[in-house]
Structure 1
Amino acid sequence: MVPLLGVLLLLLVLLSSWRLAKGKAEPRPKYPRSLPSLPIIGSLLHLTGNCQFHLLLHRLQKKYGSLYSLQMGSQYMVVVNHYLHAKEVLLKKGKTFAGRPHTVTTDILTRNGKDIAFATYSPHWKFLRKQVHASLSMFGKGTLALEKIICREAASLCESLSSFQDALLDMAPELNRAVTNVVCSLCFNSCYRRGDPEFEAMLQYNEGIVNTVGQKSLVDIFPWLQVFPNKDLALLRSCIEVRDQLLQKKFKEHKKALGSDSVNDLMDALLRVQLNMENNNSQLALPLELTDDHILMTVADIFGAGVETTSTVLKWAVLYLLHYPEVQRKIREELDQKIGFERHPQLSDRQQLPYLEATISEVLRIRPVSPLLLPHVALTDTSIGEYTIRKGAQVLVNLWSLHHDEKEWDKPEEFNPGRFLDEEGNRIYSPSPSYLPFGAGSRVCLGEALAKMEIFLFLAWILQRFTLEVLPGQPLPALEGKFGVVLQVQQFKVMARLRAAWRDGV
Structure 2
Amino acid sequence: MDLNLLFYALIFLVSYIITQKLLHKLRKLPPTPFPTLPILGHLHLLKSSTQIHRTLAKVSDRYGPVVQLWLGYRRTLLVSSASAAEDCLHHNDVIFANRPRLLGGKILAYDYTTLLWAPYGSLWRNHRRIAATEILSPHRLHLLADIRADEVRSLLKNINDQAALGNDSKVEIKTALVELTYNIMMRMIAGKRMDSEEGKRFKLLLKELLSLGGAFNPGDFFPFFKYLGLNKAAEKKITAIFVKLDGFFQELVDEQRRIMEKEGDSDGNNMKSKNLIQVLLGLQKTDPTYSTNDIIKGLIQILFLTGTETSSSTVEWATALLLKHPEIQDKVRKEIIEQVGHDRLIEEHDLQHLPYLHCIINETLRMYPVAPIVPPHESSEDCVVGGYHIPKGTMLNVNLWAIQNDPKVWDEPRQFKPERFENVEGERIGYKFMPFGSGRRSCPGENMAKRVVGLALGSLIQCFEWEGGEEEIDMEEQVSVSMWKANPLQAKFKPRKQMIKLLSQI
| Residue of structure 2 equivalent to 1:109 | 108
Deviates more, 1:117-126 or 1:228-237: 228-237
Distance 1:268 1:110 in 2: 21
Map Cα deviations across residues 317-354 of structure 1 (whole Å, 9 max, x no partner).
12212222222222212212221111121233223222
Matched, 1:79 2:78: yes
| Residue of structure 1 equivalent to 2:368 | 367
SS in 2 for 1:56: helix
Distance 1:162 1:180 in 2: 20
Distance 2:99 2:440 in 1: 12
Deviates more, 1:30-39 or 1:434-443: 30-39
2:286 aligned partner, one-letter code: N
Distance 1:432 1:414, change over 3 A: farther
Distance 1:40 1:459, change over 3 A: same
Distance 1:427 1:125, change over 3 A: closer
Q: Is the 1:106–1:213 Cα contact (8 Å) retained in structure 2?
A: no
| Residue of structure 2 equivalent to 1:497 | 494
SS in 2 for 1:395: strand
Structure number with larger C-alpha Rg: 1
Listed as ranges, the matches of 1:32-431 within 5 Å are 32-35=30-33, 36-48=35-47, 52-137=51-136, 141-165=139-163, 166-193=168-195, 196-222=196-222, 225=225, 227-228=229-230, 236-256=238-258, 257=260, 259-261=264-266, 262=269, 264-278=274-288, 289-422=290-423, 429-431=427-429
Normalised to the residue count of structure 2, the TM-score between the two structures is 0.86
Q: Is the 2:466–2:491 Cα contact (8 Å) retained in structure 1?
A: yes
| Residue of structure 2 equivalent to 1:438 | 436
1:482 aligned partner, one-letter code: Q
Distance 1:450 1:51 in 2: 27
Distance 1:80 1:469 in 2: 39
Q: Is the 1:403–1:435 Cα contact (8 Å) retained in structure 2?
A: yes
Indicate which of 471, 487, 490 corresponds to 2:483: 487
1:64 to partner: Cα distance = 0.9
1:273 aligned partner, one-letter code: L
2:277 aligned partner, one-letter code: M
2:256 aligned partner, one-letter code: H
Map Cα deviations across residues 376-429 of structure 1 (whole Å, 9 max, x no partner).
00011212131111111001111011101112110001111111114xxx8873
SS in 1 for 2:346: coil
SS in 2 for 1:34: coil
Distance 2:285 2:48 in 1: 52
Distance 1:104 1:433, change over 3 A: closer
SS in 1 for 2:162: coil
Q: Percent identity?
A: 26
1:211 aligned partner, one-letter code: S
Distance 1:229 1:219 in 2: 6
Distance 2:108 2:499 in 1: 45
Map Cα deviations across residues 3-23 of structure 1 (whole Å, 9 max, x no partner).
xxxxxxxxxxxxxxxxxxxxx
Distance 2:105 2:472 in 1: 36
1:307 aligned partner, one-letter code: T
Q: Is the 2:116–2:302 Cα contact (8 Å) retained in structure 1?
A: yes
1:368 to partner: Cα distance = 0.6
Q: Is the 2:344–2:502 Cα contact (8 Å) retained in structure 1?
A: no
1:177 to partner: Cα distance = 1.4
Q: Is the 2:40–2:72 Cα contact (8 Å) retained in structure 1?
A: yes
SS in 2 for 1:405: coil
Map Cα deviations across residues 129-158 of structure 1 (whole Å, 9 max, x no partner).
21222111569x534323222111110000
Q: Is the 2:343–2:502 Cα contact (8 Å) retained in structure 1?
A: no
Q: Is the 1:33–1:69 Cα contact (8 Å) retained in structure 2?
A: yes
Distance 1:42 1:431 in 2: 35
Distance 1:200 1:480, change over 3 A: same
1:245 aligned partner, one-letter code: G
Unaligned 5+ segments in structure 2 are 1-24
Distance 1:79 1:164 in 2: 46
Distance 2:440 2:287 in 1: 24
Distance 1:200 1:178, change over 3 A: same
Map Cα deviations across residues 177-236 of structure 1 (whole Å, 9 max, x no partner).
11112212222222233xx22222222222221221244443533365574588776554
Map Cα deviations across residues 252-285 of structure 1 (whole Å, 9 max, x no partner).
112232550245122222222222124xxxxxxx
Number of matched pairs: 463
Q: Is the 2:194–2:200 Cα contact (8 Å) retained in structure 1?
A: no
Q: Is the 2:32–2:69 Cα contact (8 Å) retained in structure 1?
A: yes
Q: Is the 2:379–2:392 Cα contact (8 Å) retained in structure 1?
A: yes
Distance 2:379 2:137 in 1: 33
Deviates more, 1:67-76 or 1:313-322: 313-322
Distance 2:42 2:137 in 1: 48
SS in 1 for 2:392: coil
| Residue of structure 1 equivalent to 2:21 | none
1:201 aligned partner, one-letter code: R
Deviates more, 1:363-372 or 1:160-169: 160-169
Deviates more, 1:61-70 or 1:265-274: 265-274
1:339 aligned partner, one-letter code: V
Distance 1:50 1:486, change over 3 A: closer
Q: Is the 1:355–1:427 Cα contact (8 Å) retained in structure 2?
A: no
Map Cα deviations across residues 85-135 of structure 1 (whole Å, 9 max, x no partner).
112211222111011011112322112112111222121111122122211
SS in 2 for 1:365: helix
